[in-house]
Structure 1
Amino acid sequence: MNQSFYLFALKYRGGQKEDKKSRFAESMFEQHDFPKTETSFHALSQYIEELAHPELTASIFDELWEHYIEGY
């Protein structure tokens, strides 16, 4: 994978406030320690689970991850 998950997910920023993917991307952007260069599901999943941020949910991450890997 050439593009990190972070860069992929940023394309969802600026969407409707009701859109969970958009809220995930906004929250991810605001987390200064988010692993921006990471391409590993395990590393990203672990970060999200340990952070336990209400907008960075594992279910939305899993959905975005599916879109991310479909592109490769």
Structure 2
Amino acid sequence: MAERARERSEPKNWEYDAVKLYAQGWSIRQVAQRIGCDYGTIRRVLIWPATLRTRGSVPRRTAALAFEI
């Protein structure tokens, strides 16, 4: 049984918005509430273009750079 490769489709407008808000310093929960999605959905969207922040640390690269905003 061959496994299908998961390809990343083109990001949707709300995904760009989520990345921008996260890059501005919003928490994942704040972004989720603003966009109207649950925490897990936003986290999955952010994992692709960005290094997620840990509590109290600075990310090595920002989400804005990954999307070339």
Q: Which TM-score applies when normalising by structure 1?
A: 0.32
TM-score, structure 2 as length reference: 0.32
Structure 1 or 2, whichever has the larger Rg, is 2
Greater relative contact order, per chain length (Cα 8 Å cut-off, separation 6+): 1
